[in-house]
Amino acid sequence: MSDAIAALSDAMRNDAETLRVIGQNVANIETVAYRREIAVMRQNFDQVTDDARAALASPQQIETAIDLRPGTLKSTSETLHMALEGPGFFVVDTPQGEALTRRGDFRLDSEGRLVTQAGLSVLGEGGAIHLDGGAPQIAPDGSVRVNGEIVARMRIAQVASESQITPLGGDLYAAAQLPQGNDAARVRQGFLEASNVESVQEMVRLMETMRHFESVQRFVRGYDDMMGKAISELGKV
């Protein structure tokens, strides 16, 4: 396979991956606290060479980054609904260890633990949060009061701005956590955070990617026709 065809093949694969990411974003536009994913193209310079032509022909690598911009907060007036105002994540317990989430449509399980919609325990500074004896009141600093007494304090994880956020599936993420500082997010009880996906932006990106994909397809067909004619003419010599 020629270098030209290999490069075009890489471009079409990357466009297909970009379309997958866009489709995923659009499908989750109504998902609570969903974080938009972005397909990022990066040149692969693992093998450094003095040949500039070889460097330009090296395959493009596509990576997925997480857009950490906050979504809009919407009031629900539900006692167990919570949103974070500012940077930070709720910490939950999973079978694989601790994970981070911005999704705050929590509920109580049969044992009175505060859990996610998937049944994962929401963690406080002392472990799983148990709520018994009345409706909880959540202060902006994460303090949980029941009947006027503090029974727990929610853990709000901070991550460095340059930290790589790794999706774990669903609304969960993994990242290196920092000690909680003065810039901790504030908890808003009775609110939920909306997705940060903007439908117009995704549609524009979708059209741009589709046009690029179709242009590469036409180029491949033209290149194939040109090579076919060249082979045919050479066969007559």
Say if residue 4's pLDDT is above 60.
yes
Residues 6+ away with beta carbon under 8 Å from 108:
80, 114, 115, 131
Q: What is the pLDDT of residues 94-106, one digit of tens each?
A: 999 999 999 999 9
The model's pTM is: 0.77
CB 191 within 8 A of CB 73: yes
> What is the percent of the chain where pLDDT is above 70?
81
Long-range contacts from 131-134, C-beta under 8 angstroms, 24+ separation: none
Q: Are strands 143-146 and 149-153 parallel, antiparallel or unpaired?
A: antiparallel
Range with the poorest average pLDDT among 86-90, 99-103, 115-119, 180-184: 180-184
Mean pLDDT of the region 51-74: 72
Rounded to the nearest integer, the mean pLDDT of the chain is: 84
Side chain identity at residue 101, one-letter code: T
Beta-bridge partner residues of 42: 61
Mean pLDDT of the region 129-150: 91
> Of 119, 79, 125, 81, which is closest to residue 102 (Cα–Cα)?
81
- DSSP labels, 160-210: -TT---EEEETTEEE-PEEPP-TTPPEEEETEEEPP---HHHHHHHHHHHH
Residue 213 pLDDT: 82
Say if residue 212's pLDDT is above 70.
yes
Residue 50 pLDDT: 47
CA distance 12 to 14: 5
> What is the percent of the chain where pLDDT is above 90?
53
Confidence of residue 224 (pLDDT cuts 50, 70, 90): low
Mean pLDDT of the region 125-152: 91
CA distance 191 to 143: 16
Side chain identity at residue 105, one-letter code: D
147 or 221: which carries more pLDDT confidence? 147
The token pair at 127 is 């472990």
Residue 90 pLDDT: 95
Confidence of residue 159 (pLDDT cuts 50, 70, 90): confident
Residue 180 pLDDT: 66
Residue 45 pLDDT: 43
Residue 56 pLDDT: 44
Work out the angle between the directed axes of helices 199-236 and 3-27 (0-180°, nearest 10). 160
Q: What is the pLDDT of residues 5-62, one digit of tens each?
A: 777 778 888 888 899 999 999 999 999 999 999 988 765 444 444 444 444 445 567 8
Residue 136 pLDDT: 93
